[in-house]
Structure 1
């Protein structure tokens, strides 16, 4: 589920793995994603589309960096729709984003061996 090319770029930062860069980046992503998803759910439930867009923007970038490309694409779609005011059918898109985020969390946990 995580893109091999993105993970390879992370490995290039620590070729022999002695610094544990990949593990630290993945763990940081996993922890931040949990907080971001809580914030996204609260914003969605409150009808706070501005915050929904902000969280989608943040998760878009971080998920791309660890290779969760489908999650990044869903975030980009939600962010764009909020930005241009095309929010009539935003709820199912946010739900798809949340479901994909859960898949990404599982993939990161597997990559970390947890």
Structure 2
């Protein structure tokens, strides 16, 4: 998994401490993000799935986690603009996003540990 927070750091005046705090919050919230995606999928609720993806998109953008942001944005746009009524159409995108969220903790924590002042 690739993580390069260069742009995120530029947006926050290279405040590494702030970025580390944001990463810690993101990692802490990952189980909740995953739960919301799974619940929306299980309930076949496209609006809730789009909302969950939107929240993940914003949180991942804040820390510069582009792989996650891109997947979340694709899922959100698909949910919002699709004429598809069945959530089964979004299973693959949802599964990819959940996989990235499940796998990101070590990478993000490692970056934070290496950059802690």
TM-score band (shorter)?
0.7 to 0.9
Q: What is the CA-CA distance between 1:48 and the residue it aligns to?
A: 1.3
- After TM superposition, the score normalised by the length of structure 2 is 0.79
Matched, 1:53 2:54: no
RMSD: 2.0
How many pairs does the alignment contain? Answer: 109
TM-score, normalised relative to structure 1:
0.81
Q: Which residue is 2:4 aligned to?
A: 3
The Cα shift of 1:76 comes to 0.8
1:103 paired to 2:98: no
The alpha carbon displacement at 1:53 in A equals 0.4
- Unpaired runs of 5+ residues, structure 2, are none
1:26 equivalent in structure 2: 23
Structure 2: distance between partners of 1:23 and 1:4: 11
2: CA distance, partners of 1:73 / 1:36: 15
In structure 1, stretches of 5+ residues that fail to align are none
Moved more, 73-82 or 100-109: 100-109
